[in-house]
Amino acid sequence: MVLTSEGSTASDTFGASIAGFISALPDYYIRDWVARLYFQVKSDRRGIVKRAPYGIAKVHASLARAGIDAVIADPNKLDKVVGPSTKVLGIYTMDPLGLSYGSGIVYWILTLAGLRYAGTPYISKSFLKVLDNPAVKRNRNGMKIVVGGPAVWQLVDTGMQAKLGIDVVYEGEFEEDGPAVFKRLLAGEAVPAVVTARRPVPVDLIPTITTPAIGGLVEVTRGCGRGCQFCTPTLSGMIRSIPFEGHVDKEIRINIEVGGVKEIGLHSEEFFRYGAKGIDPNPNKVIDLVQKAYKLVKSYGDDYGITTDFTTAAVAVQARKLVEEVGQYMNEGGQMNFIEMGIETGSPRLLAMVMPGKVLPFKPAQYPDIVENAVGILNDSGWIVVGTMIINLPGETDDDVIKNLELLDRLSKLRIMTFPLPFIPMGALRHRDFTVLDKILENPLREEFVLRALSKAMSEAYADADVVTAKMENPVVRRLIKHLMHAAVGFVLRRYKEKLQSMEPRRPTAPQEIKWKIHV
């Protein structure tokens, strides 16, 4: 049993996971020699990785608990691992066909800067390279290929699964149902082409990882419970919190002692609701977790630390004092870290239609105020916000886009990267119309929104180049990447400024709903 992942996902990009974003660039820019230098994977002489994407580390731990012997292989060294005795190859993917948010953002970044977009997103190319690897093709007749991960919907919905020769696509949480699928494959039994997990996995069935995770990730919650119709974490149900003792503490130790990381990322879909039973946060549980994690990592040295990755605007406003206290542990000494926030829309009307739980316990009409206040609170507590806003949601009208533009104006002085996301039909909206990226830019109002959002994001990225590259382990690489980042982002910003100066703001007199449809 061999597990692996696409090459860009398998790389920790010199210790700075956020730097992996460039994998969404097309291979016109990321040539093979560039990829070999940038997307390096740490592995031993046998081709076994030293750190793995967190999702595949969980799969590996689940298989081990079920008595299945598996290894996590470096996708660049599959010839050392895959052979005649390999019965199953499991591949973890984040964007196999280049249809996810990141690839769409990069398309817009390049197009609006007047730069050529040609080729395949590198993250997709690196997935296809695994399937096309000589060792895989040579041993294909005696081996089953299983693909899993958050973006496998792409393979199913486009009909590409069969064309690529993928035997099984596994959708959903793995720990409860996944090992049985692999046992059946090892035994030579028939398995459906698409297997979907029956339910969210209970916490007591989630094992601790035994392979260190890229980015020092340690999962502390699953699910969310806010019920946004387009979001895959919604499928995991209400938030479930993972205990510190015997689980989180073990994974912290594995990441530090075996993985050699100095920063632990406490991963959650909504960190400030750790320990919550519903929408309302439980500050005592959050602080207890943070204090225990902080004490444990500091036992290894003063230069060790903790951080987290996701929040919502509503909980940041609802639990302001909690955010401020957690910031003292995670952003001590005045350092800044990034935290992601799904803003999604500035339109209270659209919010009420598609994601009413996003703003709870507040009202949809309050949402623009909530977002602005939340970003300010997070900034004051040491976080730079990566705020995503979705364009072309079902039912979106021009008036909703105007509300997005108005929110951008309110956020202009705050430390936030506002990334416009093309609507991707996932969660409860799966199988709806796909967004056509070019069609959005043909609409003047939506083009203005995408351009203004990207201008703010790129301006913040330029200012925060030190933060982006701070965690890169090699100081020479850190300086080089920072220099290249300033040059590239500066060039794009100049192009955006020229385009904005030639653009008159569009404010239609009557709302219009615009629909586009594409068959993938």
Render pLDDT for 237-296 as a digit per residue (tens, 0 to 9).
789 999 999 999 999 999 999 999 999 999 999 999 999 998 999 999 999 999 999 999
Q: How far apart (Å, rounded) are the C-alpha atoms in residues 114 and 132?
A: 33
pLDDT averaged over every residue in the chain = 91
Distances (CA, A) of 443 to 44, 305, 508, 513: 51, 46, 12, 11
**Which is nearest to 119 in space by CA: 211, 26, 35?**
26
- Reported as a single tens digit per residue, the pLDDT across 417-475 is 999 998 876 444 344 444 578 888 889 999 999 999 999 999 999 999 999 888 888 88
Please compute the mean of the pLDDT values over residues 43-65 and round it to a whole number. Answer: 96
Distances (CA, A) of 40 to 2, 263, 321, 328, 502: 20, 20, 41, 34, 42
pLDDT given for residue 329 in this prediction:
97
Strand partners, 146: 90, 168
In angstroms, the first-to-last Cα distance of the chain is 33
pLDDT given for residue 507 in this prediction:
53
pLDDT given for residue 236 in this prediction:
59
Query: What residue type is 80 in one-letter code?
Result: K
Query: Rounded to two decimals, what is the model's pTM?
Result: 0.91
Please check the confidence at residue 232 and state whether its pLDDT lies above 70. Answer: no
**pLDDT band at residue 22 under the 50/70/90 scheme:** confident
Please check the confidence at residue 233 and state whether its pLDDT lies above 80. Answer: no
3-state secondary structure of 230: coil
Buried b (16+ CB within 10 A) or exposed e, 392-402: bbbebbbbbbb
DSSP 16-61: -GGGGGGGGSBTTTS-HHHHHHHS---B-TTSBBSSB-HHHHHHHH
392 versus 366: the higher-pLDDT residue is 366
Give the torsion sign (CA, 137, 138, 139, 140): positive
Residue with tokens 């050699």: 260
Q: How far apart (Å, rounded) are the C-alpha atoms in residues 195 and 186?
A: 16
Q: How far apart (Å, rounded) are the C-alpha atoms in residues 401 and 416?
A: 19
DSSP 95-161: -TTS-SHHHHHHHHHHHHTT----S-BHHHHHHHHHHT-HHHHHTGGG-EEEEESTTTHHHHHTTHH
- Reported as a single tens digit per residue, the pLDDT across 159-183 is 999 999 999 999 999 999 999 999 9
DSSP-derived pairing of the beta strands 88-92 and 71-72 = unpaired
Query: What residue type is 210 in one-letter code?
Result: T
Alpha helix locations (H) across 395-471? 398-411, 437-442, 444-463, 465-469
Q: How far apart (Å, rounded) are the C-alpha atoms in residues 351 and 224?
A: 17
**Chain centre to alpha carbon of residue 487:** 25
Please compute the mean of the pLDDT values over residues 194-216 and round it to a whole number. Answer: 95
DSSP type of residue 244: I
